[in-house]
Structure 1
Amino acid sequence: MVDTHMTDPSLARLLLSAFTWFDTALRASLAARGLPELTHAQSLLMAHLQADGIRISELARRVGTTRQAAQKSVAALERAGLVETAPDPTNASARIARLTPAGLRNITAAAEVFAALELRLADRIGAEAAKQLRAALQADWGAPNAIDPAKRET
């Protein structure tokens, strides 16, 4: 999972590699079930979509991308039948993306795959290590403020 050319990868790099492991396995598992093949960007968007809808601009903010990039991915998901878009009833210049019934089935299948992946991870790294990993990731890390590497918070 971790790049072998890196002798001491940062924690951020390890977290990114772990996320990529989950996302790659998820997308392959969903495709193996005959569900639409998604790109990494589309997979990220699907994680934030809701049945009742979300503004595309808010979706972009949550994923950390541009509105234009989010619109492009939403359009591809719409062509795949996973989402539908409509004008925002509270703002005529905005659009809302919402899951279709097929999109909801995709999200349900994804939840099943994630549960199986967590079990696989526990088998591979040990149940106690998986439990500790979950606890560390659920801990309150505080706000993601800018820091000065020369100074350490106390």
Structure 2
Amino acid sequence: MARKPGLLMAQLLNRFIWFDAALQKSLDIRGHGGVRRLESMCMVYVHAGIRRPSELARLLGVTRQSVNTALRELEAKGLVYLEPDPEDARCKLVHFAPEGAVMREEALDIVMALEAALEENLGRKAVDDLARLVSADWGEAPVIGKKGVGKAKERKKKSA
């Protein structure tokens, strides 16, 4: 199928939703339902080693207040806990709660099964290529001015 210019962003988002919807439905039938998409996304980043709520908010593109609400809900569900950051007493760090270990293990099993299903449907090489592409350093997100990529950055440098 030929690529339609201007749709890549929507296609990437649709594939993320494919993963998340499958994860949520699978957790639900296993008795671990009730985790909203933002909560799920926070859990994915905590699994990847992101511990500061402010960094979670930045990566997810949402407000700190939204992340703090999601983390309080995850804490109430026994999935995470927050503790003071030893490097900055004003901050907290997110950790997985021991009570949520079974759910996390099942979620990881589901995600691995989804990746295996992708390999079955698309082929291992395609999935390896996809992983390589989305893991690659795409650089800083450019600001697109009226004159094209990077022009806003050049104007900024000239005016400084």
TM-score normalised to structure 2 length: 0.75
Q: 1:12-62 CA distances to partner (integer Å, 9 max, x unpaired)?
A: 100000000001101111222222421100000011225998232222222
Pick closer, same or farther for the CA change 1:51–1:84 going to 2, 3 Å.
farther
| 2: CA distance, partners of 1:8 / 1:26 | 29
Which of 96, 107, 130 matches 1:99? Answer: 96
Question: Which ranges of structure 2 fall in alignment gaps of 5 or more residues?
Answer: 151-160
Aligned to 1:57: 54
- The residue type paired with residue 132 of structure 1 is D
Q: CA deviation at 1:111?
A: 2.0
Pick closer, same or farther for the CA change 1:60–1:138 going to 2, 3 Å.
closer
Question: Which ranges of structure 1 fall in alignment gaps of 5 or more residues?
Answer: 1-6
Residues matched between the structures, number: 147
Q: CA deviation at 1:152?
A: 6.3
Q: 1:95-133 CA distances to partner (integer Å, 9 max, x unpaired)?
A: 222110133433332221111101212222344433332
| 2: CA distance, partners of 1:44 / 1:121 | 20
Q: Which runs of 4+ in 1 moved over 4 A?
A: 50-53
Which of 14, 19, 23 matches 1:22? Answer: 19
Considering Cα pairs closer than 8 Å and 6+ residues apart, tell me whether 1 or 2 has the greater RCO.
Answer: 1
Pick closer, same or farther for the CA change 1:151–1:38 going to 2, 3 Å.
same
Pick closer, same or farther for the CA change 1:8–1:43 going to 2, 3 Å.
same
CA RMSD across the alignment: 2.8
Structural mapping, 1:3-152, within 5 Å: 10-49=7-46, 54-148=51-145, 150-151=147-148
Deviates more, 1:14-23 or 1:114-123: 114-123
Pick closer, same or farther for the CA change 1:118–1:50 going to 2, 3 Å.
closer
Deviates more, 1:129-138 or 1:34-43: 129-138
Pick closer, same or farther for the CA change 1:53–1:104 going to 2, 3 Å.
farther
